[in-house]
A and B are shown apart, each in its own frame.
Chain A
């Protein structure tokens, strides 16, 4: 149980284009999902917290107009990187909390490797 999927697993795009990444909880409902960014050989940095049916909460320094987050259902959150540039190239990982478990446990997806040319 507690499986989180992400799609796509990797994407290469041209500078200036937008890219959408999907995060799904497959066997549980997730009121809250999280989006992280990880640069090579570094730790995970929280970008934003996504709550079902409401606006996302962004961490300091993260541009909300550049990283659009939508959490339309209890099993799906999307991250759209708008007008992507090479510096946005990174490993993007989502996680989800199982609302029924009433714990702080977060389960992570497999990540999406974004490369902007």
Chain B
């Protein structure tokens, strides 16, 4: 099955700086890569996703890049704010079954 590795496990950044989270996947047939943000005690919230026919996607302060050849994708958050503090999960899928990374705990220091 699909194996998704996510790094780093924790990330502390100063408010206003950028945060980058990287994920690699094992199954070259995977074609959908969403990112979720999960706040304490809540369900995951989809923040951005990318499909295999696109190399980059941006939504305001959030961007995702995909390198199909290397089988890795990354989440970039610019101008971080305290409300960006949360756990972020990457995932990969072919068809409909999502395989999640282990998560990254992001802390934005004021």
Question: Which A residues form the contact surface with B (CB < 8 A)?
Answer: 4, 6, 32, 34, 42-44, 46, 49, 93, 97, 103-111, 113
Contact = CB atoms under 8 A, between A and B. Distances in A.
A32 B95 CA distance: 12
A43 B100 CA distance: 7
A107 B46 contact: yes
- How many chain B residues sit at the interface, stated as a range, is 20 to 34
Contacts of A32: 96
Given A43-B101, A43-B103, A108-B36, A113 B44 contact: no
A105 B89 CA distance: 14
Given A43-B89, A43-B100, A104-B93, A93 B43 contact: yes
Say whether chain B's binding surface is mostly helix, strand, loop, or mixed: strand
Nearest to B33: A104
Contact of B102 (A6, A43, A97, A105): A43
A59 B44 CA distance: 20
Say whether chain A's binding surface is mostly helix, strand, loop, or mixed: strand
10 contacts: A43-B89, A43-B103, A46-B97, A49-B96, A93-B43, A104-B93, A104-B95, A106-B34, A108-B36, A110-B42
A45 B44 CA distance: 13
A109 B97 contact: no
A76 to B, nearest CB: 17
Interface of B: 32, 34, 36, 41-46, 49, 89, 93, 95-98, 100-103
Nearest to B34: A105
Contacts of A93: 43-44
B43 A108 contact: yes
Given A104-B95, A105-B34, A105-B49, A44 B100 contact: yes
Contacts of B96: 32, 49, 97, 104, 106
